[in-house]
Amino acid sequence: MGVTQSQTIAPSLVKDFAEVTKMRLSVSVVISSIAGYLLGADTVSFSVLVLLAIGGYCMVGASNVFNQVIEKDIDALMHRTKNRPVASGRLSVNTAMTLAIVLTLLGLSILYAINPKTSMFGAISIFMYVSLYTPLKTKTPLSVFVGAFPGAIPFMLGWVAATNNFGIEAGTLFMIQFFWQFPHFWAIGWFLYDDYARANIYMLPNGKRNKSTALQMLLYTLWTVLCSLIPIFGLTGDLKLTPIAGVIVGLIGVWNLYYAYKMYKIRNEAMARKLMLISVSYITLIQLIYVLDKFLLQ
């Protein structure tokens, strides 16, 4: 009986941990940080990569746990989030808070072992996400703007971990991911509009699914693409792109812009969902091309 119970509890705890820390999201953020590290490192250190991955996951996971504690009543109102561990009651608030604090302290300590600046930016990220972005979600659509700051840190965090320096290179990586988030999250806010409305959350810039919102999605997509092309011109220090990589980045940008334009013209949930998926593909491919260009073409 005891063995059977333990065999049942263990997978359940693992599942709850994965859900409360949003494992897929956290892993994608860690990959972004690793891409930034590879771009900044003169010599790749496996030990630093491991520390960055573990520390980064702890920090993002902690942010997500804090978020689910604060929003447990809001999550319970939405179909998409009502089965989350804290909202559903599978994980108590006290247990979740303890986990969040442990992950925060562990993450900060691990990132500090890389260098103090990396830990500092990790701390800024979790503070802004939990203390500013999360409470603003039910107050104003400007929450997306505030949330874009911690959301843009991971890509440049990797560069800081590799170089112990925040300069034009890290700033450019930050800018790319900063602008990228607006059309991405507005697309999510568009196709989940009704679900968010149940919790009085309005993520779209003017709170409505209209032509003005779609135009802003198109413009921010354009700025994202333009920012991604800046390293071609040799204006970003040690962060560079060869002409070949520049052409590829440009073509992927045109692909992204095409769907942003289609969203502007069609303006429905299906197109918003497609734009969201395209945007994820865009940022992933851009990071991959940047890294491959450094190691294969430069």
Among the residues of 115-242, which ranges form H helices? 116-127, 134-136, 143-163, 168-191, 193-198, 211-229
Supply the pLDDT for residue 1: 44
Give residue-wise pLDDT tens across range 31-51.
999 999 999 999 999 999 999
CA-to-CA distance for 247 and 119, rounded, in angstroms? Answer: 35
Give residue-wise pLDDT tens across range 134-180.
999 999 999 999 999 999 999 999 999 999 999 999 999 999 999 99
Evaluate whether 70 touches 93 at the Cβ level (below 8 Å): no
> Mind giving me the DSSP string for 223-239?
HHHHHHHGGGGT-STT-
Torsional sign, CA 187, 190, 195, 201: positive
Residue 96 structure tokens: 């979740």
Residue given tokens 């990220």 in the structure block = 125
Residue given tokens 């959350």 in the structure block = 201
Closest among 172, 285, 162 to 233, alpha carbons compared: 172
Q: Is the pLDDT of residue 6 over 50?
A: no
CA-to-CA distance for 144 and 136, rounded, in angstroms? Answer: 9
